Chain A
Amino acid sequence: MAPVMQSSQPWVEKYRPKQVKDVAHQDEVVRVLTNTLETSNCPHMLFYGPPGTGKTTTALAIAHQLFGPELYKSRVLELNASDDRGINVVRTKIKNFAAVAVGSSRQGGYPCPPFKIIILDEADSMTQDAQNALRQEIMGSRILHICKEEGLNLDSEALSTLSSISQGDLRRAITYLQSAARLFGSSISAKDLISVSGVIPNEVVQAIFSACRSGNFDLANKEVNNVIAEGYPVSQMLSQLYDIVVDADDISDEQKARICKKFAEADKCLVDGADEYLQLLNVASSTMQALSNMPQDMV
């Protein structure tokens, strides 16, 4: 039997605000937009910001509020990276869509102004701006709202863990929350969240780091092999290792600089698709050399 469908919507979709005023913590944006909506005088708009801050949500909410569910289909064209978006599409699809003029007829209490809306989603590839204080703040209240609606118990430790592991990306936070709720029931602890998020446990990162401190190449090699066999993503390992190195008090600035330079190179190589084992081994070996002040006279 096919599973029941009612509850199977991702929470990201389920709790996407339907009205502009519900968009969490973008007060100024909401104020400006509500104003435009009331006067039905809508300029072209460009939303930009890091992933998961509510750009698509806001755009969809405006469209919904202007036209209501009935006219929505005929008045709004949504194009995103999943549609082929070459120059031809822009020429034909958008032109065809825009060519048909529409009148303004009020229907069912929606303003329905005499124009159409085209939403060009994901206009560029998303930027990777990680930590952002604003986003943390957005998250807290929205997460609590969802917890209340879904009847979840989240203590304050779990909440702060959630915001740190999702690095301020609200969509990621909601996905983690939903996954944890599926797997572990309605009481969710910080540990549960870490296990669904793919963050590497601290012991594993520390093991690599202390192997580097030990100055023993074979030990480091063994730890690197272990990380790969355990299936931890190396890019994640680099970012967690980076946090440890930067925070360490007993490492000199020059050593930190040498290590971080290597991190940057390895990160670029990983993006190019280089082998994870070799890159992590190289990082570990260079870190070891930097910590024991061995000269590094390679390119």
Chain B
Amino acid sequence: MLWVDKYRPKTLDKVIVHQDVAQNLQKLVSEGDCPHLLFYGPSGSGKKTLIMALLRQIFGPSADKVKVENKVWKVDAGTRTIDVELTTLSSTHHVELNPSDAGFQDRYVVQEIIKEMAKNRPIDAKGKKGFKVLVLNEVDKLSREAQHSLRRTMEKYSASCRLVLCSNSSSKVTEAVRSRCLNVRINAPMEEEIVNVLEFIAKKEGLQSPQGFAARIAEKSNRNLRRAVLTFETCRVQQYPFTNNQAIPPMDWEQYVSEIASDIMKEQSPKRLFEVRGKLYELLTNCIPPEVILKRLLFELLKKLDSELKHEVSNWAAHYEHRMRLGQKAIFHLEAFVAKFMSIYKSFLISTFG
């Protein structure tokens, strides 16, 4: 089992980072009353871990017994019926799903499943009516219609069903949905917190980690805890015992983007642009999201630039990323950004050095 899964805290009192949030969640549960929740924060900050621990706190160990199901819903949409297929992860007390996987039909999924859950309301031994929890991932990718249809549904079925929403940015969740939830911001852990976690894992694994080694991994991780733990495990596999000057392997694709950046800086010509396009395609076919490539490329280029060019380049990066979101083929916009950069940089060189 990967360390990321092995050392994921199972209960709220075992959490190492975000202890304050965990305490608040514990308080919510002990009041026997839990509002709808919206967790938001960057990836690798611990949203999912906290949600799973919260479910366990509410329902006990039975929340861990989950089964994966591929369900097909028949939705009656006026004149025809639509089949919507979606993978769900469910225990007796909760259902977890990625409604945005259903694409433009996500609205039906949200309505149908919530209504279905509201109908099958669990009753405990004392005859009290309980509630089920619906965990929705990637709410920021949910279509506007689906978010609208969540609004009244959340209020109407609030007695039998609690929603736990999980998203990377709360900007993309509509105001109406946000105002119906308790918003929980999960920030990315600080580097010291990451070091603490890594040292905790090292202790449990019985590893000797030299002074400053964990700190170097934490620094490279961009405050992403998942990534830090994965890197730590990679280092363990590559070389143990650890040495102080052991190289911390960067992600392959980051290395690759860095090469692209130096290619661009060295020569600005149509021929070079053509070569860069091939490399960008390579990244895209390896499923690196285009906006991630663009951001990383910007990061690499900014390192090498004079400060007067930085403004202009970051402006164009924002411009082309926005276009990319509206358009369909990412490669056009990535290439446009590279071409734009080459033209700016070349004219800068000509005006400075003649």
B contact residues around A285 at 8 Å (CB) = 310-311, 314-315
- Give the Cβ gap from A148 to chain B, nearest Cβ, in Å: 20
- Give the Cβ gap from B101 to chain A, nearest Cβ, in Å: 17
Check B40 against A233 for contact (C-beta < 8 Å). yes
Q: Is A288 part of the binding interface, using a Cβ–Cβ cutoff of 8 Å?
A: yes
With a 10 A CB-CB cut-off, give which of B150, B155, B178 has the most chain A CB atoms.
B155
Q: Is A104 part of the binding interface, using a Cβ–Cβ cutoff of 8 Å?
A: no
- The listed residue (A13, A178, A275) touching B321 by CB distance below 8 A is A275
Q: Is A12 part of the binding interface, using a Cβ–Cβ cutoff of 8 Å?
A: yes
B contact residues around A169 at 8 Å (CB) = 179
A contact residues around B287 at 8 Å (CB) = none
Kindly count the residue-residue contacts between A and B in the assembled complex, taking CB atoms under 8 Å apart: 197
Binary contact readout B306-337 vs A (1 if CB under 8 angstroms, 0 otherwise): 01001110111111011001100000000000
Q: Is A175 part of the binding interface, using a Cβ–Cβ cutoff of 8 Å?
A: yes
A contact residues around B265 at 8 Å (CB) = none
Q: Is A38 part of the binding interface, using a Cβ–Cβ cutoff of 8 Å?
A: no
Check A126 against B78 for contact (C-beta < 8 Å). no
Check B318 against A13 for contact (C-beta < 8 Å). no
Check A3 against B131 for contact (C-beta < 8 Å). yes
With contact pairs A12-B155, A128-B175, A175-B35 given, residues A230 and B322 touching in the complex (Cβ less than 8 Å): no
Give bound CA distance, A236 to B32, whole Å.
32
Check B176 against A51 for contact (C-beta < 8 Å). yes
With a 10 A CB-CB cut-off, give which of B29, B36, B169, B317 has the most chain A CB atoms.
B169
Give bound CA distance, A4 to B129, whole Å.
8
- Give the Cβ gap from B174 to chain A, nearest Cβ, in Å: 9
Q: Is A257 part of the binding interface, using a Cβ–Cβ cutoff of 8 Å?
A: no
Give bound CA distance, A278 to B296, whole Å.
11
Q: Is B33 part of the binding interface, using a Cβ–Cβ cutoff of 8 Å?
A: yes
With contact pairs A3-B58, A8-B32, A171-B180 given, residues A198 and B170 touching in the complex (Cβ less than 8 Å): yes
Check A183 against B171 for contact (C-beta < 8 Å). no
Check A286 against B159 for contact (C-beta < 8 Å). no
Give bound CA distance, A5 to B132, whole Å.
12
Check B185 against A231 for contact (C-beta < 8 Å). yes
What are some 25 contacts across the A-B interface (CB < 8 A)? A1-B126, A2-B124, A2-B129, A5-B130, A5-B159, A10-B180, A81-B152, A82-B153, A88-B79, A121-B152, A122-B148, A125-B148, A171-B180, A182-B33, A198-B178, A217-B307, A229-B222, A231-B42, A232-B185, A233-B171, A234-B169, A236-B171, A275-B291, A278-B318, A298-B315
Q: B interface vs A, CB < 8 Å?
A: 24, 27-29, 31-36, 40-42, 45, 58-60, 77-79, 111, 122-126, 128-131, 148-153, 155-156, 158-159, 169-172, 175-176, 178-183, 185-188, 222-223, 291, 294-295, 298, 302, 307, 310-312, 314-319, 321-322, 325-326
